[in-house]
Amino acid sequence: MDDVRHDWSREELATLFALPFADLIFQAQTIHRRHFAPNEVQISTLLSIKTGGCPEDCGYCSQSASHETGLKASKLMDVSAVVADAKNAKQAGATRFCMGAAWRSPKDKDLDAVCEMVSEVKSLGMETCVTLGMLTPQQASKLRDAGLDYYNHNIDTSPEYYEQIITTRTFQDRLDTLEAVRAAGIHVCSGGIVGMGENEADRIGMIHALCTLPQHPESVPINMLMRVEGTKLADAESINALDFVRTIAVARIAMPKSFVRLSAGREYMSDEAQALCFLAGANSIFYGEKLLTTPNPEAHKDRQLLARLGITAMVP
């Protein structure tokens, strides 16, 4: 049965959000089992290869130059240091290594260094992913030639709510980069953040924008806002755990073959909330004690939780 659709309406997604919780989870889990092993998760590790000083004004981001968070800007890491971190991540069980740089868009000389990082990490037998801001088609092609597997560029929220979060680039700018990445033949990683003051209609709008793309992102990270002192959203009201699980479930139903990543915010979640997210169809996590600049559960806690749930790491 082919349940992959690109013609979802917002009304259909709203109907899913409104289902009784057990019915929604049952539907999401049924679809999940149709396309994935039910008790496996894909393990990724995320490294900040260039931290802070970003000229964008994303309201959630500790790395924005617009925010006084006490974070010191750093230069791009040396290739050898990145490769050493990738080796450690692989030994800890990660199969995908993600590298993030706080740029609006990369300069060509910096892109050359990132391409070398991609090639070296790829040679370790790991999947590679980078997030570098906006890309031109030429830059996307260069990353492809270096062996890049995934490019992350989140749309963050709905088109309607976007200007409340970011004013230095448009929602269409996000889509243009995704189009350049897709045209270059690189897998797309794109999701969003919930708990930024948006309402359910905005969560529907975010998923709608992703699931109506000509090709669904291969990875869809769903982040819970990490409230950082000094950012615009430091005092945002936290999202209810069950509303977060509903967002995971609807993303799974709307994008059946995508990896749905339980991403930032797990530090705030109970084991029970994370278990519900896995039940709702999440099948990817970031592994390691830091996500760029914010905390993540310690690796041994993740190992214990996955063992208790009978979940094993996916082998690519």
Report which residue type is found at 86: A
Q: Distances in Å between the alpha carbon of 238 and those of 123, 225, 241? A: 41, 8, 9
Task: Enumerate residues 6+ apart whose C-beta is below 8 A from 287.
Answer: 43, 44, 45, 89, 92, 93, 94, 296, 299, 302
| Predicted pLDDT at 265 | 76
Respond yes or no: is residue 115 known to be catalytic.
Answer: no
Q: What pTM, to 2 d.p., does this model score?
A: 0.88
DSSP structure class, residue 239:
P
Q: Distances in Å between the alpha carbon of 127 and those of 4, 41, 74, 89, 107? A: 25, 15, 25, 12, 24
Q: Which of 96, 115, 144, 189 is catalytic?
A: 189
> Residues 177, 134: contact at Cβ < 8 Å?
yes
Respond yes or no: is residue 54 known to be catalytic.
Answer: yes
Q: Which of 96, 144, 261, 266 is catalytic?
A: 261
| Predicted pLDDT at 292 | 44
Nearest to 292 by CA among 33, 38, 74: 74
Respond yes or no: is residue 277 known to be catalytic.
Answer: no
Respond yes or no: is residue 61 known to be catalytic.
Answer: yes
What does pLDDT average to in each consecutive run of 10 residues of the chain (316 residues)?
A: 87 97 97 95 86 70 59 78 90 86 84 93 92 92 95 93 88 93 95 91 96 96 79 75 95 97 83 94 77 54 88 83
Respond yes or no: is residue 174 known to be catalytic.
Answer: no
Q: Which of 96, 98, 169, 246 is catalytic?
A: 98
Rounded Cα gap, residues 83 and 95, in angstroms:
14
Q: Which of 129, 144, 174, 266 is catalytic?
A: 129
Respond yes or no: is residue 261 known to be catalytic.
Answer: yes
Q: 188: helix, coil or strand? A: strand
| Predicted pLDDT at 293 | 46
| Predicted pLDDT at 59 | 66
Respond yes or no: is residue 58 known to be catalytic.
Answer: yes
